[in-house]
Structure 1
Amino acid sequence: MLSLVIITSLLAFTSSKPCETEGSNRELLLSLNKDLLRSLESLDGLPNPSVHLALRLSNYHNLAKENEHLNRLKSDLHTDIQSSLMNSQSVTGLLALYSLALKSSCYDLNTITFSVNDKSETLLTHLKKQMEQEKEHIAFSHRPLTNYYQYSLGVLALCVSSIRVNNHVSHKLIKAVENENFKHGDTESVDTYAMAGMALQCVKDSGSYVHSAAELDAALSLIKQKLLASRRSDGHIGNEFSTGLAVQALVAMGSEVAECAASMEAMRTAARGNIYHNPMAISQTLPALHKKSYLSVKNKECLNEDDTLVLEPRDPVVVLPSKTKVKVMVEVVTSSRATALYSVDVPKGSSLLEALELLKGKNVGFTFEIESSLWGPFLSAVNDEQARQSDRRYWHLASDGTALTQGISDFKIEEAQKITIKNTSY
């Protein structure tokens, strides 16, 4: 029965409909590629290894700019990871993305080292140690130190670097799939299923898993079923921001993806509507539109690459604040379920972050703190209460009861609404 469901869903996934011309699709790919290259010009925050990975998996290149970014990764990001390791922080996902980015540039990972407690060890050695710590944490608490998305990313990064993944590490991921443990709150995480699919497909391809081959195949089949069952009527899988990784995973797991498949068209429509203006979102979508996946890094050869991508100079765009104001109600729900309600008028088109800054400036008792991430700033504390990953908590954001799929700097306030900020466990 499961096979029938998968086969039927695959037929739906690959079925095509009228779509844009090949030339138009190519122009869109070039446009997204250039958007990523322009994002490198901002020196705010740390260089993003996911952006580098997407640029390297593209068919089109500006090798000079890519090399500049590679050097920033090896200096700025490397220093940040070094500091985290020295402070015994879990950085599984960042280490994994860093190694994938370096490998996508055919860089010798054995030359990248970190020094902790006067002991110098390679990046991949540190990643293996992080994975062992994650595995042990699952053994006694039934969840990783970080989360299963980062855990999957760690398995994938080791595997594509031809490092044999500990069978117990792989087994923990297979069991998590089997037990359907990939949830964010009450919602299944399409992103996590996608990353786990790429990771376990790599493990299968490597032939290194000596436990039951049947359970590995069953896990991959269940992941494929979950992804396909999450496809919406508009073609997106999960939502606009999880579709790229989902398509990557389906490609990695051997699904045929037609050029005009519904999910490909959904990503193109979203891209043309400027939904993917966040570099992180583009970085996960662009490989999928090229019908590639992070698994492609395993056999990447940096030879005879197209180096014709040129960034045309652009006049700076000055956005004047809107004279139209909209009322935003902000509800804060603490971990004890105490609530506080605030009101603020903001210019139409403001980001949620700008709205929260205006509310904070009114001195009505509302305060917040933010931390940086590869996706941009996120709320870490509201009204002096924290929601930390180490405590398995986060600030859940909703607009008129609908969960936000964008971060606070990306979500735009276009009309009057109620924003709920709720301290939530996971």
Structure 2
Amino acid sequence: MLFLVIITGLLAFSTGKPCDNETANSELELSLNKNLLRSLETQEGLPNPSVHLALRLSDSHNLAKESEHLNKLKNDLHNDIQSSLTNGQPVSGIMALYTLALKSSCYDLNTITFTTNEKSETLLTHLKKQMEQEKEHIAFSLRPLTNYYQYSLGVLALCASGIRVNNHVSNKLIKAAVHDYFKHGDTESTDTYAMAGMALQCVKDAGCHVQSADELNAALTKIKLKLLASRRDDCHIGNEFSTGLAVQALLAMGGQVAEYATSMEAIRTDARNNVYHNPMAISQILPALQQKSYLMVENKECLNEDDTLVLEPIDPVVVLPSEIKVKVEVVMSSGAAAVYTVKAPKGSSLLVALKLLKGKNDGFTFETQSSLWGPFLSAVNGEQARQSDRRYWHLSSEGTALSQGIQDFKLEVAQKITIKNTSY
């Protein structure tokens, strides 16, 4: 009898742990969902279509807040894209994300128009034209006007919206994947492989690329192998901020559970440690944790949606931090370097430290531009590093490249930050 009691107890214990894990994971996903929804109240600059996309792919909703954000996208972001089009600037990436965000809300894309040269055309028509311009640029320079990440987004958005992607457009992406063109400087871009994987999987599922089916399959195989090969010892794929998209891609490409389960657990561990406080980062990991991908927008139905997501009030916590010393080294494109020192509150962002340094009036200046990931450095000490020139400001701490931007990287200990004008 005692033996039976022991066995029963062991069975209850063993079967209880998965349930406990499942409950904990669900609570984590709900917390991330709320954090993402709360970011709508504190966001600066333009509304983020990636945040909207993740909220709409989620199982739980606050339909009133999502509708309000949709209206901001249709007004503020729409006007910004229109301004870029008027000025002849490439907008394939942001236009593609805008398309996916609208599609996730089941919005009629044919009612969204932009005007160029006094001619009004639909959003999808303009996106197709953007992709043609990107394709033509690849033909003579082996590079898109923007980059292959944005190019992949464009292919995915067109395909998920039911538009047949021009074979010449998709072929450029296939060849780029096969020939290892997805790089940022000398480093392979996990984010780009992931987005290309979702885009090409959509093209394959649509069955509109039968002429080069073997090449398409070869590209998808190559992408999956690249993603799996870039898994680190801590199970992140690429780094902690590319793992969300990588898991999405593996899910979209029909990966086995064993190929992404440990990476999902790595995301959960970091999420519980508050690594993902940037709304853009959360917008990429939340679908992955719910075993979804951007590809699911293609068949999204906005019927009988759960509308129970409610935000509780948060009591502010005031902490008086101590100060730490930060050295800032600036390396110009010529190789000339200058070093500055500033004291900043412990736990403050690098952006705060740079503002304090600039306020000291000792020769240091900087300018920023906004992005979906937050502000990024555009000019330092009067020198610019522009995407059009294939240059950027590379950030490192004690020689280790930062995986976060200036607003998200927190200064917890005294350290040396290097800001270097770098080509790619």
Q: Is the 8 A contact 1:257 1:291 kept in 2?
A: no
Does residue 191 of structure 2 align to residue 200 of structure 1? no
For 2:384, which of 379, 383, 386 is the aligned residue? Answer: 386
Q: For 1:289 and 1:358, locate their aligned partners in 2 and report how far apart those are by CA, in whole Å.
A: 38
1:425 pairs with 2:423:
yes
Identity %: 79
8 A Cα contact 1:29 1:286, kept in partner: yes
Distance 2:72 2:35 in 1: 18
Instruction: Give the CA deviation at 1:292.
Output: 0.4
The aligned residue for residue 170 of structure 1 is 170
Query: Contact between 1:19 and 1:260, CA under 8 Å: does it hold in 2?
Result: no
| Higher RCO (CA 8 Å, separation ≥ 6 residues) | 1
Distance 1:96 1:76 in 2: 16
Long gaps (5+) in structure 1:
1-16
- 2:407 corresponds to 1:412: no
Q: Which residue of 1 aligns with 2:354?
A: 356
- Please name the residue that 2:336 is paired with: 338
| Residues in 2 aligned to 1:233 and 1:123: alpha-carbon distance in whole angstroms | 43
Equivalence for 1:187: 187
Larger radius of gyration: 2
Output the CA distance in 2 between the equivalents of 1:123 and 1:166: 17
The yes-or-no answer on 1:401 pairing with 2:365 is: no
Whether 2:282 is the aligned partner of 1:282: answer: yes
Structure 1 Cα separation of the partners of residues 307 and 256 of structure 2: 29
Pair 1:147 & 2:160 matched = no
* Equivalent position of 1:3 in the other structure: none
Cα separation, partners in 2 of 1:187 and 1:259, compared to 1, 3 Å: closer
The residue aligned with 1:90 is 90
Instruction: Say how many residue pairs are matched.
Output: 408
Q: TM-score, normalised by structure 1?
A: 0.94
CA distance in 1, matches of 2:209, 2:261: 33
1:116-162 Cα offsets, whole Å, 9 max, x none, are: 12110000111001000000000111100000000000000000001
Any idea what SS the aligned residue of 2:121 has?
strand
Tell me if structure 2 keeps the 8 A contact 1:330–1:341.
yes
Q: Which residue of 2 aligns with 1:14?
A: none
CA apart distance, 1:258 = 6.0
Give the Cα–Cα distance (whole angstroms) in 1 for the partners of residues 85 and 210 of structure 2: 31
- What is residue 42 of structure 1 aligned with on the other side? 42
Q: TM-score, normalised by structure 2?
A: 0.94
Larger helix percent? 2
Q: How does 1:14-413 map to 2 (within 5 A)?
A: 21-42=21-42, 44-257=44-257, 261-320=261-320, 322=321, 324-413=322-411
Map Cα deviations across residues 77-104 of structure 1 (whole Å, 9 max, x no partner).
Answer: 1111111111111111100000000000
Q: Is the 8 A contact 1:62 1:307 kept in 2?
A: yes
**1:402 is matched by which residue type in structure 2?**
T
- In 2, Cα distance between the equivalents of 1:108 and 1:288? 26
Asked if the contact 2:250/2:259 (under 8 Å) is kept, the reply is no
**Paired amino acid for 2:410:** K
Partner letter of residue 64 of structure 1?
A: A
Q: Where does residue 4 of structure 1 map in the other structure?
A: none
Let me know the Cα RMSD of the aligned residues.
1.5
The residue identity in structure 2 corresponding to 1:377 is P
* C-alpha distance in structure 2 between counterparts of 1:73 and 1:372, whole Å: 16
Distance verdict in 2 for CA 1:117–1:284, change over 3 Å: same
